[in-house]
């Protein structure tokens, strides 16, 4: 199935996408993760994206549509995928519609994760990630089970994102409200939108998400 997770920075898109990839075998496509990999690898795209990401702005539609266009044609996406952080603008949503149409594919559901703005800053500033396998954690809300040890791969190395500071979060939130929030109306009008309570605890959000995906798959 083809699913979009829609929500502001820190809403829990990546957390839930990682779980769904494990539990339902849906491929997670995070444009944020792909762009961070490009920055780390020092590619042309990475060089263009680096400054923009650090400032909390949005990378150009052209770049991200091309990344997604290439990625969804890979064999592991044949049975479907879950988009985390894409689309983020109306041109990206229209671009995705065109790509899916060209490939004879249909979008199943767009899940909006509703979270209060005040909770987002706390979530983002407490986030850390396993440097080896990418599993996401939070100082308070999702600590590792054993101190300084990744639950998934046992690594002891963790990273914090360059854009995870209170100042940049404000720019990211502004970009969300200006460019991405209009997609809620876009997908509602298409009859694809479902909303869930992203303020609930991580397990409860997962339960709600599974209910929505089960209904969309039925
Ligand atoms: P991206 O990586 O997509 O970042 P984002 O949208 O800002 O979202 P986050 O990854 O910050 O939040 P999330 O919803 O995944 O939250 P998470 O699950 O980690 O994009 C980064 C940048 O790349 C953009 O600013 C832009 O520059 C560029 N970019 C990417 N895609 C683009 C595109 N399509 N177009 C243009 N530019 C693009 O959770 C956050 C924390 O909260 C974690 O620590 C987690 O453990 C915790 N948490 C999760 N759920 C809960 C819960 N229910 N209760 C308590 N804590 C929770
Ligand atoms: Mg994320």
pLDDT in tens, 67-107: 999 999 999 999 999 999 999 999 999 999 999 999 999 99
Using the 8-state DSSP alphabet, how is residue 176 labeled?
Answer: I
By three-state DSSP, how is residue 82 classified?
A: strand
The catalytic position among 88, 123, 142, 194 is 88
The CA 10 to ligand 2 mean position distance, Å, reads 7
Question: Could you confirm whether 161 is annotated as catalytic?
Answer: yes
Q: What is the pLDDT of residue 107?
A: 97
The pLDDT tens digits of the residues spanning 6-52 come to 999 999 999 999 999 999 999 999 999 999 999 999 999 999 999 99
Q: Which ligand is nearest to the CA of 15?
A: 1
- Name 152's Cβ contacts closer than 8 Å, sequence gap at least 6: 130, 133, 135
Q: Of 95, 46, 42, which is closest to residue 72 (Cα–Cα)?
A: 95
The CA 180 to ligand 2 mean position distance, Å, reads 15
The CA 103 to ligand 2 mean position distance, Å, reads 27
The pLDDT tens digits of the residues spanning 130-168 come to 999 999 999 999 999 999 999 999 999 999 999 999 889
| Confidence band for 190, pLDDT divided at 50, 70 and 90 | very high
Q: Do the Cβ atoms of 106 and 2 come closer than 8 Å?
A: yes
Question: Could you confirm whether 88 is annotated as catalytic?
Answer: yes
Would the pLDDT of 212 be above 90? Answer: yes
Q: What is the pLDDT of residue 166?
A: 85
Continuous segment of H or E residues that includes residue 53: helix 44-55
Q: Do the Cβ atoms of 82 and 210 come closer than 8 Å?
A: no
Strand partners, 138: 127, 142
| Mean residue pLDDT across the chain | 96
pTM: 0.95
Question: Could you confirm whether 66 is annotated as catalytic?
Answer: no
CA 68 from chain centre, in angstroms, equals: 13
What gap in Å lies between CA 84 and CA 82, rounded to an integer? 6
Question: Could you confirm whether 172 is annotated as catalytic?
Answer: yes
- As a whole number, mean pLDDT of residues 107-132 equals 95
- As a whole number, mean pLDDT of residues 58-69 equals 97
The CA 13 to ligand 2 mean position distance, Å, reads 6
- As a whole number, mean pLDDT of residues 54-74 equals 96
What gap in Å lies between CA 186 and CA 169, rounded to an integer? 25
The catalytic position among 24, 105, 132, 161 is 161
Question: Could you confirm whether 71 is annotated as catalytic?
Answer: no
Pocket test for ligand 1, best of 4, 9, 29 (most atoms within 8 A of CB): 9
By three-state DSSP, how is residue 109 classified?
A: strand
Q: What is the pLDDT of residue 113?
A: 98
């Amino acid at each position: 199935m083809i699913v979009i997770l829609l929500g502001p920075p820190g809403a829990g898109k990546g957390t839930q996408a990682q779980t769904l990839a494990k539990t339902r075998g849906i491929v997670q496509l995070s444009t944020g993760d792909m762009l961070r990999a490009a920055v780390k690898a020092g590619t042309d795209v990475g060089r263009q994206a680096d400054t923009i990401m650090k400032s909390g702005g949005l990378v150009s539609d052209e770049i991200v549509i091309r990344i997604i266009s290439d990625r969804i044609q890979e064999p592991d996406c044949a049975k479907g995928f879950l988009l985390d952080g894409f689309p983020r603008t109306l041109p990206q949503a229209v671009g995705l519609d065109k790509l899916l149409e060209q490939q004879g594919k249909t979008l199943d559901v767009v899940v909006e994760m509703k979270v209060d703005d005040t909770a987002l800053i706390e979530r983002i500033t407490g986030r850390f990630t396993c440097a080896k396998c990418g599993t996401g954690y939070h100082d308070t809300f999702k600590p590792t089970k054993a101190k300084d040890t990744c639950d998934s791969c046992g690594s002891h190395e963790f990273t914090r994102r360059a854009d995870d500071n209170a100042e940049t979060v404000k720019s990211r939130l502004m970009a969300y409200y200006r460019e991405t929030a209009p997609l809620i109306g876009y997908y509602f009008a298409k009859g694809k939108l479902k909303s869930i309570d992203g303020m609930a605890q991580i397990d409860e959000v997962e339960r709600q998400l599974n209910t929505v995906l089960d209904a969309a798959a039925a």
